[in-house]
Amino acid sequence: MADVVLIDWGGGNIGSVRYALDRIGARAVLSANADTIANAPRVILPGVGAAPPAMARLHGLDLVDTLRNLQAPLLGICLGMQLLYESSDEGDVECLGLLRGRVSKLASAPGLRVPHMGWNRLSPVVDSPLLAGIDAGAWAYFVHGFVAPQTEDTLASTDHGMRFTAVAARGRCFGAQFHPERSAAIGQRLLTNFLAMEAA
C-alpha cells in the first residue's frame, strides 16, 4: 500500500517531489483518479504554474469535490498550497476553499526580485507537528510570484518585501509555499513530518 498519493494533474514539480519522497523511503503513487485519491492515506497536491489553468485542470479531472471532501491529510506545495485557499488574484479564480483567505500578487520593492526565487528564513508562528524539528530561522527555497496572507491558518511566515504565509494548516489540510523537494534537510524533515500524520 502506498504511503502517499501524489496528484498527477500536470504540475511542473511532480517529478522532483516524487524523487524527494523516494529519497526518504516513502512509497508514493502518482494518480489523477478520484477514487484512488479519495481512499489514499495521505495526499500531496504539487504545483508550479498559474492558478487559473491549474484549477481548470482539477475541474477537468473531476477532482475539486474530491479534494474538498478529503478525509486524509493533504499537503499543497507551492502553487498547490495557493490552490487550497478560497480564491486568487491570479486570474480572479475561485480555488478549493480549504484554507481561509485570498492569494495576492507579491508586492515589488526596490532591490527585490519578483517573482521571488531564492532562499528565505522561516519564522514559526504556531507549534505544529508539521514543523517538528525545524528551527526558527531555517532556510527554505521559494519560487513564486503570488502569496497567501497571514491568517489564523499560518504556521510559519517569511518576508520578501512583505510578510506572507510560508506554511499553513487547517484541520487535516496543510500547505508549504516553499519547495520542500528543493530545500535540503529542512524540506526532507517537513515531508517526513507530513508522512507521519495519522492516515485517514
Q: What is the pLDDT of residues 90-132, one digit of tens each?
A: 999 999 999 999 999 998 877 788 888 999 999 999 999 999 9
φ/ψ of residue 191, rounded to 5: -65, -40
Question: Each residue of 22-59: pLDDT tens digit?
Answer: 999 999 999 999 999 999 999 999 988 899 999 999 99
Q: Which domain holds residue 150?
A: 4-195
Kindly state the percentage of the chain with pLDDT values over 70: 98
Q: How many domains does the chain have?
A: 1
Catalytic residues: 78, 179, 181
Residue 162 within a domain: yes
Considering the domain boundaries, does residue 96 fall inside one?
A: yes
Say which CATH number the domain at 134 has: 3.40.50.880
Residue 200 domain-assigned (yes or no): no
Give the helix/strand (H/E) hosting 35: helix 34-38
The position carrying cell 491570479 is: 90
pTM over 0.85: yes
Residue 172 has a CB neighbour count (10 Å cut-off) of: 17
